[in-house]
Structure 1
Amino acid sequence: MALRLLILFIALPIIELFLLIKIGGVIGFLPTIALVILTAVIGSQLVRRQGLTVLSRIRESQARGEMPALPMLDGAALLLAGFMLLTPGFLSDALGFVLLVPGLRQKIARRLLSRVVIIQPAGGVNERYAGRGQHSRPDPNAVIEGDYERRDQGTDKRGPASPKADDTSERSGRDDGV
Structure 2
Amino acid sequence: MLRLILILFLLAVPIAEIAVFMMVGEAIGVLPTIALVIITAVIGAYLLKQQGLQAFQRLQDDIRERRVPAASIGHALTIAIAGVLLLTPGFITDTVGFLLFIPAVREGLWRSITRSVKVYRVDPATGGGGPGWPGPEPTRRTIDLDQGDYGPSNPNTPWKGSGGQ
Decide: shared fold, TM above 0.5: yes
CA contact (8 A) 1:74 1:105 kept: yes
The structural deviation recorded for 1:143 is 6.2
Name the structure 2 match of 1:55.
Answer: 56
Name the structure 1 match of 2:9.
Answer: 8
Q: Distance in 2 between matches of 1:146 and 1:83?
A: 46
CA contact (8 A) 1:82 1:96 kept: yes
CA contact (8 A) 1:85 1:92 kept: yes
Q: Which amino acid aligns with 2:89?
A: P
Q: Distance in 1 between matches of 2:60 and 2:144?
A: 38
Name the structure 1 match of 2:43.
Answer: 42
Q: Which amino acid aligns with 2:31?
A: L
Percent identity, aligned pairs only? 34
C-alpha change, 1:40 and 1:145, in structure 2 (3 Å) is closer
Q: Does 1:89 align with 2:90?
A: yes
Q: Which amino acid aligns with 2:20?
A: L
1:85-133 Cα offsets, whole Å, 9 max, x none, are 0111100000000001011112212321221144676x634462115xx
Q: Distance in 2 between matches of 1:95 and 1:31?
A: 21
Name the structure 2 match of 1:99.
Answer: 100
Structure 2 alignment gaps of length 5 or more: 155-159, 161-165
Structure 1 alignment gaps of length 5 or more: 158-178
How many residue pairs were aligned?
147
C-alpha change, 1:112 and 1:80, in structure 2 (3 Å) is same
TM-score scaled by structure 1?
A: 0.72
CA contact (8 A) 1:129 1:137 kept: no
- Larger RCO (alpha carbons 8 Å, 6+ apart): 1
Name the structure 2 match of 1:110.
Answer: 111
TM-score scaled by structure 2?
A: 0.77
Q: Which runs of 4+ in 1 moved over 6 A?
A: 145-148
Name the structure 2 match of 1:169.
Answer: none
Partner of 1:115, secondary structure, is coil
The structural deviation recorded for 1:47 is 1.5
The structure number with the bigger radius of gyration is 1
Q: Distance in 2 between matches of 1:84 and 1:146?
A: 49
1:1-178 equivalences in 2 (<5 Å)? 1-118=2-119, 124-126=128-130, 128-130=132-134, 149-152=150-153
The structural deviation recorded for 1:36 is 0.4
Q: Distance in 2 between matches of 1:44 and 1:27?
A: 24
